Amino acid sequence: MSVLSPNSVFTSLQQEGPFAVTRVALTTGRFSSQTRLWVKRLQQDPNNRTKYRALRSQLFEFLGVENMEQIKSLVSDSTLREQRSQRALRLLGNMFGIDGNLNEIKSRVDEYARTADAVIHSLNSKILSPYTSYIESTNEIVVTNNPVELLLIMFNDAYHKKARFEARRKVILMTLAGTIDQRERETDVENKFSAFLAFLNGYVWSPNLKIGELDPVFLHSQHNLEDYFCTEVNVLTPQETISVTPVPGEKLTLLKRRSFTVGNKKIPIYVSIRKKPPEAKVLKLLRKNEKNPGVAVDDELGLMAVLDSFSDVKAFQQHLTRSASKANSLMVLEDISDTLFEHVQYRSRAIGSSDKTSMMKFFARLGGMRVEFIIHTNQTWLNYMYQEDVAHNEYEVKRMFDTGVIELLFPMDIFHLDHQKTRNEMIQLFRKQMRS
């Protein structure tokens, strides 16, 4: 289901619908022409009526009011706002299972606000970087972390329509950040990530390596000029690259590799290990049209590896299983897909992904953890970096636009962003950067 569909779980953020932020705040009186028009639109869908009643009940309870008139009074009374803010923090602390006093709860809620801002910043700094002037947030919203203050801005006609929308957006993103934080505490992600690193350093990598020791090499690759598919790749030492000057259709790509030992053979491997940051998890919830991180975010811990050949890939997979046994844990591989061979077509259900993608992907369950592994050969990784339709930067653009997340967060009538045009321009920009 699209995040923009009428039955989306994010209906309250949709600008095309009954909950749209209008030019004038909805506190103009129950019999005003604007209010009557809004009620008429709301009555068109019974599901929206039910959602509205639930949202109104939650909003009134959170603010400690019984009607819209009391919200207007709350906007003008700073002492009352402070009292309601402290009450709201206690409510949030109990809802998200935050232990501690009021200051500790406030600190955690401030983290949620920073995550909400980071969601917008992450898009602003990468896939929408040329459009910063279109989508940059209003200063007053960025510096406001108090959820009561943000909710009151939504009903304060002294604020522009854009600021009122951004206040609503920030509250919703903060709520998602709160559910993610709660999930991370329940599943003990921080300790599991540390345990995973300890497992790799203690049992997987070559024992004669120091922790963090890396060997730099360069991949000298040849690419098809039509779509930049990698046709040939050789591994060079830094000294060997001194005499190499890439021409169009060639790339020199630095890799800093570790190694693992199988028998007497030392096998080099490039590894990228990550714990998905909160803002990335929020974006995934939006893309999946889901508010429950336990359902949507199944790749909190991940490892991407690049090896010289398919035989090295198989050796690494076997080495992982043996290493887990040495660490006194069975390792079970789940949801395996393997398209490293060219004739095997990748079939992903993810919006924006390409059938041309080649990789081995699986989840490994070991030591109380479930870790996502993505394995590449040098050639498939270079395609993942540079090939048209396959490259990860291009995939990020497609999935954010094609799932409707960009339109949801930056609606046209507020941010004046032509979404289809912007999508195509960003794809072309990334393709140009990848070829340079």
What pLDDT band is residue 2 in, cutting at 50, 70 and 90?
confident
DSSP 78-94: HHHHHHHHHHHHHHHHH
Q: What is the C-alpha separation between 184 and 377, in angstroms, rounded?
A: 32
- The answer to whether residue 362 scores a pLDDT higher than 60 is yes
Torsional sign, CA 364, 370, 371, 375: positive
Q: What is the C-alpha separation between 299 and 115, in angstroms, rounded?
A: 19
pLDDT tens digits, residue range 402-428? Answer: 999 999 999 999 999 999 999 999 999
Rounded to two decimals, what is the model's pTM?
0.91
What pLDDT band is residue 54 in, cutting at 50, 70 and 90?
confident
% of the chain at pLDDT higher than 70: 94
What pLDDT band is residue 386 in, cutting at 50, 70 and 90?
very high
User: Phi and psi at residue 50, in whole multiples of 5°?
Assistant: -65, -45
pLDDT tens digits, residue range 261-279? Answer: 998 899 999 999 988 899 9
pLDDT tens digits, residue range 57-98? Answer: 899 999 999 888 889 889 889 999 999 999 999 999 999 999
Rounded mean pLDDT of the chain? 90
